[in-house]
Structure 1
Amino acid sequence: MNVPGDVIDARFELIERLGSGGMGTVWRARDTVLGREVALKAVRPDAEASPAVRERVMREARALARLNDPHVVTVHQIIEAHPHPWIVMELVPGRSLQQRLSEGSLSPAEAATVGRQVLTALRAAHAAGIQHRDVKPANVLLRPDGTAVLTDFGIAALQGTSALTATGELVGSPEYMAPERIRGHDDPASDLWSLGLVLYVCVEGVSPLRRATTLATLAAVLDDPVPPPVRSGPLAPVLQALLVRDPAARPDAVQLDALLAQVERGAQPRWDRPTLTAAPVPAPPAPSAPPVPGPTTRPDSVLPGPDHRRRSPALTAALAVLAVVGVAGLVLTLRPFDDGESTDRAGGPPASTSATPVTPPRSTAAEQSPSPAASSRRPSPSTPITAESTPSPAANGRWIAQLYSEPVSSGTAARDRRLERIRATVPEALVLRSDDYASLRPGFWVVYAPGPFTDGRAALSFCAERGRTTAVSCIGRYLSTSSDDFALQCRPPASSPAGRCTRGT
């Protein structure tokens, strides 16, 4: 255990401990040869014998040594001492962004300035093939003049390296991790998600995805909607552009810098999401099967479920070590549960019409145009049913029969039990996430019958044939990318419905 006064490598005298993190302990030290103060980082004492930790510390030094940017902390040298190496770094005077935020939030313009400087550091790192992977307020240092410096590349990794250790150890701060990182896939856009959360905390004063436990936080990052910013002023569109779960839908570093520059000037930036591109249509099925249309567009705001991506071995190990059995329920695969309750609620609390328009997620091909035979078949209780993932071919919207709305905060187990109960009378029932449609109130799982229905009256007639004749058990709803379509709600009875039942009324 080191103490003040110890001399490292016969040159660096330890003065005081500045802090400790997941990768080591940082000391203020005096270089007795050059007569200057430096920062010395040592491997944390309880992990000195770990080759994996030692390698990550060395990787940090090598990664930092490759960068030359005023907003990245400078590495002076590496000391290969026993029992662990030391990294000699620039001592940045001032304090961390986290310490600054303890005194109060930043204005949108101030946050944009810090964001641009951190972005400059990230661009330099990404150009060298390095991802930071732990962008958070504690790792942003502020010089006395306010200039931001990004530090602690302790878990930085070259592109293509897993974010998790082979033993399943989770490294990084869960509340700032990008969703795709947790799923085992990330790229430079993952650092931009983290930067977006840092900026959110800077202006809103709260960490939107932090929960009481690590597992709950990971679940929130994967599944919970990010609360819309309310104090961010012109920075709000930038936060909303960054904090989408599809990495391809986020602005890249050049676009983000331009957006933040507008906020710095007090202007209101505008972000136009990437233009959707047509996907190839699959070959038609065998003659014995009903024709199935293929996907036509690519969603820009929905993180695909794990069925679309293979988990890396490191991620699998991490989930096992962390006992992330509960997190497995966060993915959008629905499993049947045995429950005797039968009362269903189609409505839920009054919806807000202020949701940011987003592109609807993809629905299954069979759901888009099911045959009468397919509609009458009940899914096998042992067959997993996934949340829809392909957009409707009908002008970006369609009518459904909404059968129940379950708050996302209730958890996926409650969602799955409700779906199984509803399938007792509506075998074709599916589930979607309301956050993916601007015409629905965000924050709910919606159990629904996909139809297709020509209008809301047709949806109510479908429900009436199955004994669902009240507004708490069935509502005709229109799914679209516009919050203006929230008014398209058709309520029982089917013979004389209330509300708006067609798009033309």
Structure 2
Amino acid sequence: MNTSDDGGRPLVDGRFRLVSRLGSGGMGTVWRARDIALDRDVALKEVRPPDPAAEEAHPGLTAQLRARAIREARALARLSHPHVVTVHHIVEPADGSAPWIVMELVEGNSVADRLAAGPLPVPEAITLGRQVLGALRAAHAAGIQHRDVKPANVLLRAEGGAVLTDFGIAAFDEATSRLTASGDLIGSADFIAPERVRGEEGNPASDLWSLGMLLYVATEGHHPLRRATSLATVVAVLDDPIPPPVRSGALGPVLTRLLVRDPALRPDAAELDRLLAEAAAAPADAVPAGFGPPTPVAYPAPPPHPYAVPARPRPVPARVPDRRKRVARLTGGLVLAAALFALALVQVLPKGGDGGGTGGLGLGTGDGKQTGSTGSTGSTGSTGSTASPGSTAGTAPTTTAPTTTAGSHLTPAGVRTAVAAFRDATGVSTVKQLVVYEEYAVAEIPTKPGASTYDRYIYRDGKVSRQGIGGTISSSDPDEQPFDPTRMPWDDLPELAERADRELKVESPTSRYLIAERWTFNKDRPTLLVYRTNDYSATGYLAVDADGTQVHKETAD
């Protein structure tokens, strides 16, 4: 760097005058700069090498980060697309020090900033999805995968239109093996595709999963797989069921098609664009836009994106399975060790995340300023003809919030009504899993008696709706086998509810729900889990056998 003759202000490469800092963090600093040769403002990223301790702990880290930064600039320079941030120039100092990347200055905020004010309207989310998809299609055609699509990495121009940025961890088809360290989990934990967690690379469908998760968050107002820690989130990404979208309108069936763990079953980019176009053209009432979602909770707005110039309703509870089971069955010893190593490495590498995600190397500063704020279409099925669910008076809990409300499904009569409705609508009397909330119930039901495939259904207001394809039932996995839900101890619900409120130590619970499923730690027998959660992610549950005997208790402590 040298200086200009105008007040001694620094010049980069004898051409770019630093004007003001836009953001700073572990990965570096992003500046507003003036290109004195072309007389225009630009965004100038100063890539910061790791501290000496990090280099000593991981020899070659500085060179790796420099190579990734240069690769980022070259990746973007190869693309010319209205929804991809433009790279103008890269400065590679002759002494081998950290490079500078010169980009367009996007006058606007990130999608993460926008979501801090609340979910997107469905038409706006569909438009956003098609624009980001267009950017990904251009990148994939050039042999580039983004690998970290999330709300913080999508900017919104002040004049309109989305811009995909932060290609710093993108994998060139021809460079992946050279620049990706073994066991290095790259990407934000809550938006990374499950196959990438397992170490599989080279599949553009993984970027489409991340886009689908971004759109889910944008319309549903919460992340279905985010957990209290990065490792817990990784395990949830690998296996936890994704609650069917309930407020995404015509976009809901598209998300159901997209967010499946087998990348071969996801629509490709061309089909996804067609599905989004059909969703955009669908009447407003083509798919129910919601099922009486809970009252939103206000969250503080995140800091602005470090190089964008400024111009969650309460989560539907997701299944929280026993982590020991999921780590043992899905990740295995070697994969878990790699994930732990990766997460430990990410603590040394510069961070850039979305509310707790695991780092990213690229155009962001990586200091947490990029926080989340992230076949045929599954059709609506037949409607059941059962009556509205009944209710019974629950035992008064010890907390200030009622254990159940009038008309709640969390009563013996309410659950039995929902179970009967699922059976009448599908002709199948078994379920793979049943999740019951106060307002509605969700079931995974075999496509026919004895089938190895299942679909997802929702029961609400006396009606059953098919939400889309579920997946396959492994004949070798005892805890996936369907069971008869009528044999669960529903008569014990009032007493279990009172005990859960009293014993689980979840302060001011705001969400109560039940899960009935086969459970490994109950010898793969059908088990009823009674959950309590609050807005601070404190979670506890009681697990009881089909005869009502308690087999486990997990408190929030």
- Smaller-chain TM-score bracket: 0.5 to 0.7
Superposed CA offset, 1:109-152 (max 9, x none):
00100110000000011111111011011111111222111011
1:256 to 242, 264, 272: 272
CA–CA distance in 2 between the matches of 1:55 and 1:10? 23
Change over 3 Å in CA distance of 1:156–1:308 after alignment to 2: farther
CA–CA distance in 1 between the matches of 2:254 and 2:246? 13
Superposed CA offset, 1:396-421 (max 9, x none):
x898998999xxx999xx954322xx
Look up the match of 1:375: none
CA–CA distance in 2 between the matches of 1:85 and 1:225? 42
Look up the match of 1:319: 340
Look up the match of 2:232: 216
1:135 to 142, 145, 149: 149
SS at match of 1:221: helix
Superposed CA offset, 1:357-415 (max 9, x none):
52332213xxxxxxxxxxxxxxxxxxxxx5578xx9xxxx898998999xxx999xx95
Change over 3 Å in CA distance of 1:404–1:157 after alignment to 2: farther
- Structure 1 position 27 matched with structure 2 position 27: no
CA contact (8 A) 1:347 1:472 kept: no
How far 1:170 sits from its partner (Å)?
A: 3.3
How far 1:348 sits from its partner (Å)?
A: 8.4
Structural mapping, 1:93-172, within 5 Å:
93-159=107-173, 161=176, 165-166=180-181, 168-172=183-187
Look up the match of 2:204: 188
1:64 to 72, 76, 82: 76
Instruction: Output the amino acid matched with 1:36.
Output: R
Change over 3 Å in CA distance of 1:314–1:156 after alignment to 2: farther
Instruction: Output the amino acid matched with 1:66.
Output: R
2:475 to 341, 347, 363: 363
Superposed CA offset, 1:428-470 (max 9, x none):
x6899x9xxxxxxxxxxxx9xxxxxxxxxxxxxxxxxxxx9x7
Gaps of 5+ in 2: 56-61, 288-325, 346-431, 444-456, 459-466, 491-512, 530-542, 550-557
CA–CA distance in 2 between the matches of 1:196 and 1:210? 15
CA–CA distance in 2 between the matches of 1:312 and 1:5? 55
Look up the match of 2:258: 242
CA–CA distance in 1 between the matches of 2:83 and 2:333? 33
CA contact (8 A) 1:108 1:263 kept: no
Change over 3 Å in CA distance of 1:135–1:47 after alignment to 2: farther
CA–CA distance in 2 between the matches of 1:221 and 1:347? 18
Structural mapping, 1:411-422, within 5 Å:
415-419=519-523
CA contact (8 A) 2:66 2:98 kept: yes
CA contact (8 A) 1:167 1:314 kept: no
- TM (norm. structure 2) is 0.54
Q: CA RMSD in A?
A: 4.6
CA contact (8 A) 1:184 1:311 kept: no
CA contact (8 A) 2:483 2:526 kept: no
Change over 3 Å in CA distance of 1:104–1:247 after alignment to 2: same
Superposed CA offset, 1:244-300 (max 9, x none):
111111111111111111232344789xxxxxxxxxxxxxxxxxxxxxxxxxxxxxx
1:8 to 12, 15, 32: 12
How far 1:163 sits from its partner (Å)?
A: 11
CA–CA distance in 2 between the matches of 1:175 and 1:164? 23
CA–CA distance in 1 between the matches of 2:228 and 2:177? 26
SS at match of 2:123: helix
Look up the match of 1:231: 247
Superposed CA offset, 1:22-68 (max 9, x none):
64432211101111111112213535961111111111112112211
SS at match of 1:226: coil
Structural mapping, 1:424-443, within 5 Å:
none
- Structure 1 position 52 matched with structure 2 position 156: no
CA contact (8 A) 1:163 1:184 kept: no
CA–CA distance in 2 between the matches of 1:226 and 1:417? 22
Instruction: Output the amino acid matched with 1:79.
Output: V
How far 1:181 sits from its partner (Å)?
A: 0.9
Deviates more, 1:147-156 or 1:91-100: 91-100
1:38 to 37, 42, 45: 42
Change over 3 Å in CA distance of 1:253–1:20 after alignment to 2: farther
SS at match of 2:21: strand
CA–CA distance in 2 between the matches of 1:224 and 1:13? 49
Change over 3 Å in CA distance of 1:348–1:67 after alignment to 2: closer
How far 1:202 sits from its partner (Å)?
A: 1.4
CA contact (8 A) 1:28 1:38 kept: yes
How far 1:19 sits from its partner (Å)?
A: 2.6
CA contact (8 A) 2:32 2:41 kept: yes
CA–CA distance in 1 between the matches of 2:433 and 2:252? 30
Greater C-alpha radius of gyration: 1
1:78 to 90, 96, 121: 90
Change over 3 Å in CA distance of 1:193–1:402 after alignment to 2: farther
CA contact (8 A) 1:168 1:322 kept: no
Instruction: Output the amino acid matched with 2:104.
Output: E
Higher relative contact order (Cα pairs below 8 Å, separated by 6+ residues): 2
Instruction: Output the amino acid matched with 1:101.
Output: L
Look up the match of 1:88: 102
Look up the match of 1:340: none
CA–CA distance in 2 between the matches of 1:213 and 1:194? 19
Change over 3 Å in CA distance of 1:70–1:163 after alignment to 2: farther
How far 1:79 sits from its partner (Å)?
A: 0.6
Change over 3 Å in CA distance of 1:352–1:400 after alignment to 2: closer
Instruction: Output the amino acid matched with 2:259.
Output: L
How far 1:164 sits from its partner (Å)?
A: 8.9
- Identity in percent: 54
Structural mapping, 1:388-399, within 5 Å:
none
CA contact (8 A) 1:24 1:42 kept: yes
Instruction: Output the amino acid matched with 2:72.
Output: E
How far 1:172 sits from its partner (Å)?
A: 1.7
